[in-house]
Structure 1
């Protein structure tokens, strides 16, 4: 009876998640992201990918083929009025072709742009050799101008005789950078919408606090192991850090839309949860975020925070999330995020080590721990060496359980040669590869994989039980306890 109930849990969760947005406000119409890319190295038949992120936690993609004139055209229909776009070259040429030819540029409804990219023989510096034209193009060229100024500031800092100025924690350096970037932004203030101006200004203002926040988030697990006194000291410093951020001279809509704000502040609240509890409690985090931010800023942060937490099959905070995140477009973003956990994995196919296609439904009947990784990912390496390898050894004789190691490496032979090295996986587990699509594989898009390693626990019927949460992706003890919860 216990196993039957357990098998119903993901189905119930799936139903709740999929119906989450029922009755919520929906957008009146969809919007099209129209981009044409004229890239010197484009050849007819090459493939480019457009990534659209309406929030730093949500990503959609569209692939398009270069036509006979060397032009690649995108026309992505979606529900959001604002977000960021990136464009990546799918086929790398023999020369050192930088694959990401446009990266994280703010888009808004009504834009219809042409991106012309000239090859740079020396640097592959597309931010200096790209030109946008068409409706809305001013904001893209402005963003590139800001990036060029940032690079100039950085180069100057490297050549200065005063080494203190090169320190990213130097207040002089950070204040100078902020002033110069805002000066560039102000040159085109009248040519862009007020919201985009404030979003870009938020990004620039966040840069003063990035070094501190990045240090705290990078060391988040180590910080959680500090003494009670040290943890309180860190918590106090974080709360003091939030005060100037709350007072940014920008409209609330722009701050909420800034993906730097979403990423850094969402990550910061996850650190505070770790400092307060070795196993963070989402309900407490929701209350804490609500105590520091309000309105759509709060809602935007909570979606980032939910990505940090991941999803568990017995999540009790969904009603609280629903009542807290209720403003469009953040209610729709929450719905999209929860839908990513509402999947049965049957039908997703990968390549095995012999190059044959394998459907995940082949492994029905067992609990599957799926580890999604790629060669060169430091976090993937540490996760395998410190956590997953120990679990594999402990549970290797349990016929009800299996580890599925899925590599997102495009180079099939390199991936295959890496398996016996026991760095990211080993020969005893189920080893699969995404094939030539790499991390553009439909599985990665549907599940919402945007960070690595990405870990799922799947029940014997192929339904997701645990979605990349802290109990899966951190310590051996937490992962062991999670598995025993289902296997015992």
Structure 2
């Protein structure tokens, strides 16, 4: 139930703030946000490492307009510093609050260390102390000082609780009895109690909007974990009568929803976890009403429209639209049957009409470019030899376009998917071509990755997208939220389907065959 993106996508992480303690005291302006920090106890410099600050997936933020986010290279003493105008971080509608993620990307190490989903306010001036740069930071290895530090420390303590993971049924449940089920419910209740104690400790030092956002994020994540267990137990349990199971998990009370925002509260767009929780809740209710039949994407979408209204509905629809197109569809983890390309296209048309709030509409309007029959982005990028290659160069061929970056686990997984399932049948077909587009910040990084052939192979048409950190044209055109991103494009230059490594290989191969065999009366025009 947690968005895939929740399962994948490299889990997004967040944080804010900076400047040294003395600098913090010297800053009095409220039209800037200062984010600085240092990594301590490192004997040597961490190479050409950088700090990358970006918007958490699905949040509505001006950071989405700068596809690569913002970054700063560590200096020789492993320090970093960033400065933001308010317009860089805050929507006009939610100008008191924003949310960011921050990641340490060491050049000379394979690991990336990150912190997740930290709120930010105008005037923040936070210095972050990070101890070491291993795969994860332990609780005592992160510190915050400066104006606004309380909310970061609060989020950090909550993050520690949430990172302990969800309920492990294999570890905690022995015989799938009613007692085991009660134990599972108690586990999630204990998590909630711990989070509430942390929030209470900081209540007097953070404002109402921050408190609500931190609570909505944490409780929604916990509740989604609970909903996952409800579905799994309903599917697999043979020792617990269904009626007793539903009674224990509270279905007799309608699986009560925890509400954190009014229907027209703009701040809901900062908590995708809450919106996903509401969607998951809707999907599970339908699942139980159908006595174990997985509801379709259409069923869940219609139920959401029937039940919710205002900005809450609009944001839920936006997330459904985005996640139905993204590499790791939220639907795959929420008990919603996968939607085919026609269902997604029809749904996109519907929600574009339903969403009236401009800043929410803007986040998804480019998703219409991923619809079947939409014109594909007419890219023009250089190959390793420096030759300019355009989409129109492949007129008359079926194109599988794959976008990736070095260090992306999902991108490597998609490359393996292509190598195992797609290339054996189509690599010698003259009417089919794989175009692999890299978006690394440095061209040299891309060239090294080409040699390793982890994310693409030399037999592919390999291109370097050097506009990602300029106008980010292809990113904006498709409204991308993350990578990998892959499309099947027909010989007319029109989109056929979005692709991901979670799709049935037989379906994808049939789709490619049909596209190759499609007649093209305009080919000679």
TM-score (norm 2): 0.62
Distance in 2, matches of 1:120 and 1:430, equals 40
For residues 343 and 119 of structure 1, do their structure 2 counterparts lie closer, same or farther at Cα, with a shift above 3 Å needed? farther
Q: Write out aligned runs for 1:40-189 (5 A).
A: 40=39, 47-53=50-56, 55-56=58-59, 59=64, 60-66=67-73, 70-75=79-84, 77-78=87-88, 80=91, 81=94, 82-90=97-105, 92=106, 94=108, 99-108=112-121, 110-120=122-132, 125=137, 128-149=140-161, 170-189=184-203
Output the CA distance in 2 between the equivalents of 1:362 and 1:323: 32
Aligned to 1:479: 508
> Quick one: distance in 1 between partners of 2:172 and 2:312?
39
After TM superposition, the structure 1 = structure 2 runs for residues 331-346 of structure 1, keeping only pairs within 5 Å, are 331-335=361-365, 337-338=367-368, 345-346=377-378
Report the CA distance between 1:120 and its aligned residue: 3.0
CA deviation profile, 1:372-410 (whole Å, cap 9, x unmatched)? 457887766765666775444444455443122446785
Q: Is the 8 A contact 1:351 1:433 kept in 2?
A: yes
Unaligned runs of at least 5 residues, structure 1? 1-30, 224-233
The question of whether the paired residues in 2 share the 8 Å contact of 1:361 and 1:462 is answered with yes
Shifted more, 388-397 versus 267-276: the winner is: 267-276
Say yes or no: does 1:202 pair with 2:194: no
Aligned residues: 426
- Determine if contact 1:198/1:251 at 8 Å carries over to the other structure: no
Check if 1:35 corresponds to 2:34. Answer: yes
Alignment-derived partner of residue 416 in structure 1: 451
User: What is the RMSD computed on CA atoms of the aligned residues?
Assistant: 5.3
1 CA distance for matches of 2:402 and 2:149? 40
- Distance, in Å, in 2 between the alignment partners of 1:163 and 1:317 is 40
Cα distance change, pair 334–135 in 1 and its aligned pair in 2 (3 A)? farther
- Counterpart check, 1:349 vs 2:352: no
Q: Are the structure 2 counterparts of residues 380 and 118 from structure 1 closer, same or farther at C-alpha, using a change threshold of 3 Å?
A: closer
2:261 counterpart of 1:258: no
Take 2:253 and 2:387, find their aligned partners in 1: how far apart are those partners? 50
Map 1:211-230 onto structure 2 (within 5 A): 211-214=225-228
Q: Deviations over 1:410-430 (max 9, x none)?
A: 5754553346xxxx7655433
The whole-number CA distance in structure 2 between the counterparts of 1:334 and 1:406 is 23
Equivalence map 1:430-445=2 (5 Å)? 430-432=461-463, 443=474
Equivalent residue, structure 2, for 1:330 = 360
Do 2:436 and 2:460's aligned partners in 1 also have CA atoms closer than 8 Å? Answer: yes
Distance between the aligned counterparts of 1:453 and 1:168, measured in 2? Answer: 40
2:11 is matched with which residue?
A: none
Instruction: Report the counterpart of residue 429 of structure 1 in structure 2.
Output: 460
In the alignment, the residues of structure 1 paired with residue 370 and residue 252 of structure 2 have an alpha-carbon distance, to the nearest angstrom, of 33
DSSP 3-state at the match of 1:55: coil
Is the alpha carbon distance of 1:487 and 1:120 closer, same or farther for their aligned partners in structure 2, counting shifts above 3 Å? same
| Residue matched to 2:257 | 246
C-alpha distance in structure 2 between counterparts of 1:98 and 1:265, whole Å: 34
Alpha-carbon distance in structure 2 between the residues aligned to 1:45 and 1:402 = 36
Gaps of 5+ in 2: 1-29, 236-244, 327-340, 519-525
